[in-house]
A and B are shown apart, each in its own frame.
Chain A
Amino acid sequence: DVKVTQSSRYLVKRTGEKVFLECVQDMDHENMFWYRQDPGLGLRLIYFSYDVKMKEKGDIPEGYSVSREKKERFSLILESASTNQTSMYLCASCVRSSYNEQFFGPGTRLTVL
């Protein structure tokens, strides 16, 4: 079974803190993704990576950065957390093919106070 794990299920941070969200997949997938999920807006792509050290901006990259030093690990970084970054964050991975599905982690619910 493909497994995508995220470092925390729930996280509470203060405005201005630097926040790291970690994602690990165990299926040797080339592609990894970070989304945020908000009610009424569905899933919006923040960043994705198609190889180690490679990254591409998604639809809403402002305020975020990412790191992919190893194939299995993709980190999302909030340099200075703000209250409007309170959200559910979902990590996903997949093989490099147009028709293969993405496998999702359980999500991290981040609250920024």
Chain B
Amino acid sequence: AQSVTQLGSHVSVSEGALVLLRCNYSSSVPPYLFWYVQYPNQGLQLLLKYTSAATLVKGINGFEAEFKKSETSFHLTKPSAHMSDAAEYFCAVNHSGGYQKVTFGIGTKLQVIP
């Protein structure tokens, strides 16, 4: 079965500091991986996705993630945190089979300290 593990349910960074949100996946087949962001009182929106085209994936709002097969990781980074980055972030892995069933991690709440 495919799954994702997000390390750290809460992460705090100072404004301007590096953001690193960790995600490790478990998959018996090459996975499709996603990062979503949820701002307060909103639904989720896609930040970026890995579909095997390139291991370094760039997303919206300056975020990027690197797929590392040897480490089964897909960590999300941003060089410099902004106050508007405060949100909850979800890593997700797609199940193969065509119905696009996705398993989400438990989420990481990012706090940005001024």
Using CB atoms and an 8 Å cutoff, list the residues of chain A in contact with chain B: 4, 31, 35, 40-43, 45, 48, 50, 56, 58, 90, 92, 94-102, 104-107
- Chain A residues, CB < 8 A from B103: 45
Q: Which of A42, A98, A107 contacts B43 (CB 8 A)?
A: A107
Give Cα A102–Cα B34 distance, bound, in whole angstroms: 10
Q: Which of A42, A56, A101, A105 contacts B106 (CB 8 A)?
A: A42
- Chain A residues, CB < 8 A from B96: 98
Q: List 12 A-B contacts (CB under 8 A).
A: A41-B106, A42-B105, A45-B101, A56-B99, A58-B101, A90-B43, A92-B43, A99-B94, A102-B44, A102-B100, A104-B36, A107-B42
**Is A101's CB under 8 angstroms from B43's CB?**
no
Closest 4 CB pairs of A and B: A104-B43, A42-B106, A99-B51, A43-B104
**Is A42's CB under 8 angstroms from B99's CB?**
no
Give Cα A32–Cα B107 distance, bound, in whole angstroms: 22
Q: Is B14 an interface residue when CB atoms closer than 8 A count as contact?
A: no
- Residue on B nearest A90 in the bound complex, by CB: B43
**Is A102's CB under 8 angstroms from B102's CB?**
yes
Q: Is B74 an interface residue when CB atoms closer than 8 A count as contact?
A: no
Other than A48-B99, A102-B44, A102-B100, give 6 A-B pairs with Cβ distance below 8 A: A41-B106, A42-B90, A43-B104, A45-B101, A45-B103, A104-B36
**Is A50's CB under 8 angstroms from B32's CB?**
no
**Is A99's CB under 8 angstroms from B32's CB?**
yes
Q: Which of B42, B45, B101, B107 contacts A42 (CB 8 A)?
A: B107
Known interface pairs A90-B44, A107-B42; A98-B98 also in contact (CB < 8 Å): yes
Give Cα A42–Cα B3 distance, bound, in whole angstroms: 12
Give Cα A69–Cα B101 distance, bound, in whole angstroms: 21
Least Cβ distance of B50 to chain A in Å? 9
Q: Which of B32, B41, B45, B106 contacts A98 (CB 8 A)?
A: B32
**Is A98's CB under 8 angstroms from B44's CB?**
no
Give Cα A43–Cα B42 distance, bound, in whole angstroms: 14
